[in-house]
Amino acid sequence: MARRRFAALLMLPAIIFLVATVAYPLGTLLFNSFFNVKLLTPNRRTWVGFDDFVNTLTSPEVGTAALKTLQYSAFAMTLELVLGFGAALLFYAMRDRSAWARTIFIFPLLVPPIVAGLLWKFLLSLDTGMVNRVIDLLGLTPAGGQINWLGNVDTVIFTVSFADIWLTTSFVALVAYAGLQGLPADVLEAAEVDGAGYWQRVWHVILPLLRPVIAVIVIIRGVDVAKTFDLIFIQTEGGPQGASEVLSMEIYRTMIRYGNVGSASATAAVFLLVMAFFAALAYRVIWKPAND
């Protein structure tokens, strides 16, 4: 018993820190979600129970933003995983010769997201952007004219993710590379001796062994990409016509620009629950089978 008390005492500073920086803001968010409360008058609040939750789940704006978030996340995550693992496999094959390549590859990771968003906003600009200029020089401009990367309502939710993919594929590559380096060499050699081709080794040996690494990447990057705000906001502010307005932007507008704290808190609480669900799912589907 004395040991348990001592252990609890040692944990106390960390618990206090977590309560102050995580649990308290979270508790405030959940508390506010049951009230009609405005930003400028937080002391004046009316109990509304689950009304704001019902409004969140039935709101067309929230529904559209949720769909946009899903589209953005799925597209960005897929490309980041494919490109990141591809780069990691390449670095692994190059062994020590990959040192310079890896160093250059992580440069985008050092760029602040706001700067990355601005950079890609200019690159993808319809008339003055470098991307369309290069496409034009290569003679690949479509018959209908230059590509309106950030102005097409059907595709903007995917094109705004280019900045995200450019920024964080190197993170995926680095984590995957670290995982690859930890793989048991004898297992890979055995597979090679048994006649397995390169892609067979990747699919049947390497990827299964990397399940915990993949789970970490999917959970961390998945949550990160789902709550992206600055990258998209700086490029399109959620336009045109709300076609790139993701859930984080909807919550920001509702709380800060419209002053609806209660409503925004309810939406954020639902978002949190959905994220927790997906994280748990990723753990159960990807990580856990590797440990069974």
Partner 1 sequence: MRLKIGTAVLAASLALAGCSASATASAPASSGSAAAGQTIRILAEGGGVGLQKGIAEQFTKDTGIKVEFVEVPYADVHDKLAADISTGAGSYDLATIDVIWMTEFGPTLANLDDVMTPEVTADLPAALVADAKFEDHFIGMPQWANAEILFYRTDLFSDAKEQKAFKAEFGYDLVPPTNWQQYRDVAKFFNRPKDKLYGTAVKGAVETEWLAYVLQAGSPSVVLDSSGGVIIDDANHVKALEEYIAPYCTDKVGPDPATTDWAAAQNLFYQGQSAMMLFWAHAYRMTPDDSKVNGKVGVAPMIAGPGGIAAIPGPWYNVVPNDSPHPDLAKQYITYAYDHNVMGIDAPLGLAARTSAYEQFQDKAGYEAFKPLLTTLNAPATTGRPMNVHWQQITDEVLTPSVQKALTCKVSPQDVLTEAKSKIEAILKQ
Q: By CB under 8 A, name the binding residues for partner 1.
A: 4, 8, 15, 18-19, 23-24, 26-28, 30-32, 37, 39-45, 61, 125-128, 148, 150-153, 236-237, 239-242, 253, 256-260
Nearest residue (CB) to partner 1, 4 versus 95:
4
Nearest residue (CB) to partner 1, 45 versus 227:
45
Q: Which residues of 121-154 are buried (b: 16+ CB within 10 A; e: fewer)?
A: bebbbeeebebbeeeeeeeeeeeeebbbbbbeee
Nearest residue (CB) to partner 1, 56 versus 168:
56
Cα gap 109→92, rounded to integer Å: 20
Cα gap 72→218, rounded to integer Å: 14
Chain centroid to CA 84: 14
* Residue in the block written with tokens 């209660």: 262
Instruction: Report, in Å, the least distance between residue 229 CB and partner 1.
Output: 12
Strands 35-37 and 45-47, bridge-based pairing? antiparallel
Exposed, middle or buried, 268 (CB in 10 Å: 0-12/13-18/19+)? buried
Nearest residue (CB) to partner 1, 26 versus 202:
26
Instruction: Report, in Å, the least distance between residue 223 CB and partner 1.
Output: 21
| Count of other CB atoms within 10 angstroms of residue 252 | 17
Instruction: Report, in Å, the least distance between residue 281 CB and partner 1.
Output: 22
Nearest residue (CB) to partner 1, 126 versus 188:
126
Instruction: Report, in Å, the least distance between residue 207 CB and partner 1.
Output: 34
Nearest residue (CB) to partner 1, 73 versus 236:
236
Nearest residue (CB) to partner 1, 41 versus 78:
41
Cα gap 224→171, rounded to integer Å: 12
CA dist list (Å): 2 to 5, 9, 15, 242: 5, 10, 19, 59
Instruction: Report, in Å, the least distance between residue 65 CB and partner 1.
Output: 11
Instruction: Report, in Å, the least distance between residue 59 CB and partner 1.
Output: 11
Instruction: Report, in Å, the least distance between residue 191 CB and partner 1.
Output: 41
Maximum Cα–Cα distance across the chain? 78
Nearest residue (CB) to partner 1, 40 versus 110:
40
Contact 271, 199 (CB under 8 A): no
Where helices occur in the chain by DSSP H, the ranges are 2-18, 24-32, 51-58, 60-94, 99-105, 113-123, 130-137, 156-159, 161-181, 185-193, 198-201, 207-209, 211-226, 230-236, 247-252, 261-282, 288-291
Instruction: Report, in Å, the least distance between residue 275 CB and partner 1.
Output: 18
